[in-house]
Chains A and B, each alone.
Chain A
Amino acid sequence: MSNKNLESTELRQDTTMKQTEALKTRIKFFQEQQSSKVPGIFLDIVSKGVMFVANVGKKIAKVIPEETQKKGLEIYQKIILSF
């Protein structure tokens, strides 16, 4: 019953052309779900905006002391959850 003589492989994480095509399929699929172009464009703008803010936030965080960041984050979360 034992298969001890089998060898395992080292995982190759690099993506191939097939995988790149798969991602294109995914993005295309996602875009096709939008019933009209306007929400699609709107979503693009918002998601890019969120990424932009996240990037800026990361850069700012580097120059702010950790303790201040923590307090700032608590206040930020309180504002977000104030509904």
Chain B
Amino acid sequence: MFHVKSDPNFKKNYFKKTKSVCPECLTTIDAEIYEEDGKIFIRKSCKEHGNYKDILSSNADYYRWTHWKGDTWGWEKDGNPNPPDVECKDERGCPWNCGLCSEHKSACTLVIIEITNRCNLSCNFCFANVEKTGMLIEPSLEEIGRIMDHFRNKPIPATAIMFSGGEPTIRSDFVEIVKMAKDKGFKEILAATNGYGFQKIDGEQYANVCRENGLDTLYLSFDGIHEETWKTTRGVPLKEYKERVLENCRKAGLDSIVLVSTVARTVNEIEIGNILQYAIDNIDLVRGIVFQPISLCGRVSHEEVNTLRITNADVLKAIEKQTKGALKVDRDWYPLSTIVEFGRAIAWLGNQEPIEITCHPDCGFSTYLVMDPDENKMISILEYMDPMAVIDFATKFWAKLKDRKAPTFFSNIAGDSWKKLARTLDDGLAWLDKQQLKARFALGILPYIKKTGKQMEIFTKMILTGNWDNVSSFAYGSLLIGSMHFQDAYNFDIERVKRCVVHFGISMPDKTVAEVPFCAMNIFHRENIEKQIAVPYKKKTIGDDLE
């Protein structure tokens, strides 16, 4: 992986100036990201509250590699943002002007709508629960529809949407919300859930109805396989609860579950390998695992930060250690932005809406374990191909492809009475052109295939067709493993939030929609926004569908 080690620039100690905030008063202040003792830190100083230092990565080599930029490409991708929603009126600048302002550099890839803050659980760390705040936040169907329209009507429309909470399946109209999202054209619909609706006695039927109405994936919170872990993280034992969720989804054919594990040092870091094994053992349902190093928002002391803080690099190291090297830090993991040009080329060739994961390289890392039908074994996808060479080729290919115009040969020479026929002939030329470009793309990747077989045949078909269903079908029997670290005020880097691709959508009282990047919402805007949209909670009428 560290193929750039011979580059003299790669060996230099990492140093970058950026902007961050004081964790105490949230004033924007200068910050430095620097290397020390093989690790990467951020340091900053607030005139009023003093000095702060926090770790960004425990692996300086890996961090430098993910920030390397070569002649043709690097991991920090140029985004393709939508036009701004709001003017930059606040003189403090980013991130105080959200909704999206002209400083934002990426389009939204995943929309998040919090459809309720009611929940059947009362987790220790959660400060948003309606039972604790006494204030209900629950947008109406009309408001939810308005948020969806906001994201779908943009020049680069969002393709994926996630309903979160609270616990989204507590709402009795959850299925209606899912159907609305499908009807409005979202391609991938996810529920960030603890599994409440799916673990109930009629959970199989519930899963079936959800699937039939368009729910694609459960983003299922999953902290470990031991009850001791669940009691620590959620206050109650949930092992059997989660097993009921999987069993009911299995019976209902809702076969796309992503296990989401919030990882905190000294709490459940030891469960990382167990979760991976659990996913492999349930590979007929589980499509992925997302580890989320804990983001310390809310009132958290500096001391607690030092105790609980775990970085993406720590998670990757733990995976290597706990899987006895099945997934290696310096071979298997790539920043999420790696596939931007590859994805753009596939979308262009398949006439699809592009998926623009142009987030900052620090935001997340991912890899694939795929089931090899020839060996009956789960192995790293990187054993099949040389990823750097494929990405390099895809980048060059996209550079030539992006400005390509549809043929107008016949339209240019035809008279007015022949225009319709000429357009049909030009459409034919365009089809032929696209087929030859698909063939070129597949042939261009061919030299970098390291291992042939059925798996690569499926991959080739995916390139040749490029439509959404076929891309999704590649995920069957494969396991996407990712680590995504959301920011808090201690490790906040303004460059990350400007590139954020996961955006909250909130319907405001004046009927506008606020589009707010994920980390900016949690650190800066949540309190103020919720004051405007929350209403007093009347338990008797609203909690009646809880068990």
Contacts and interface: CB of A to CB of B under 8 A. Distances in A.
B274 A51 contact: no
Tell me whether chain A's interface is mostly helix, strand or loop, or mixed. helix
Given A1-B267, A81-B444, A25 B228 contact: no
Given A22-B477, A80-B444, A55 B452 contact: yes
A6 B229 contact: yes
Interface string A44-83: 1011101101110110000000000000010011001101
A22 B452 contact: no
A14 B460 contact: no
B284 A21 contact: yes
Contact of A47 (B378, B436, B457): B457
Interface in A23-37: 23, 25-27, 29-30, 33
Contacts of B283: 15, 18-19, 22
Given A33-B469, A50-B442, A54-B449, A15 B377 contact: yes
A11 B456 contact: no
A13 B274 contact: no
B476 A8 contact: no
Given A15-B377, A47-B464, A4 B266 contact: yes
Given A8-B322, A15-B378, A43 B373 contact: no
A43 B464 contact: yes
B488 interface: no
B270 interface: yes
B390 to A, nearest CB: 12
Given A43-B464, A54-B452, A23 B444 contact: no
Q: Give the interface size bracket for B toward A.
A: 35 or more
23 contacts: A1-B267, A2-B267, A6-B270, A8-B272, A9-B273, A10-B323, A11-B277, A14-B377, A15-B377, A18-B281, A23-B476, A29-B473, A30-B473, A33-B467, A43-B461, A48-B457, A50-B446, A51-B452, A54-B446, A55-B452, A80-B397, A81-B396, A83-B400
Contact of A26 (B369, B442, B443, B473): B473
A33 B400 contact: no
Interface of B: 224, 226, 228-229, 232, 255, 266-268, 270-274, 276-277, 280-284, 322-324, 326, 369, 371, 373, 376-379, 393, 396-397, 400, 404, 436-437, 440, 442-444, 446-447, 449, 452-453, 456-458, 460-461, 464-465, 467, 469-470, 473-474, 476-477
Contact of A10 (B324, B404, B467, B476): B324
A51 B455 CA distance: 10
The 4 closest A-B pairs by CB, nearest first: A26-B476, A11-B323, A47-B460, A22-B284
Contacts of A43: 461, 464-465
A4 B473 CA distance: 39
A12 B267 contact: no
B270 A80 contact: no
A53 B446 contact: yes
B477 A19 contact: yes
A4 B270 contact: yes
A12 to B, nearest CB: 7
A79 to B, nearest CB: 9
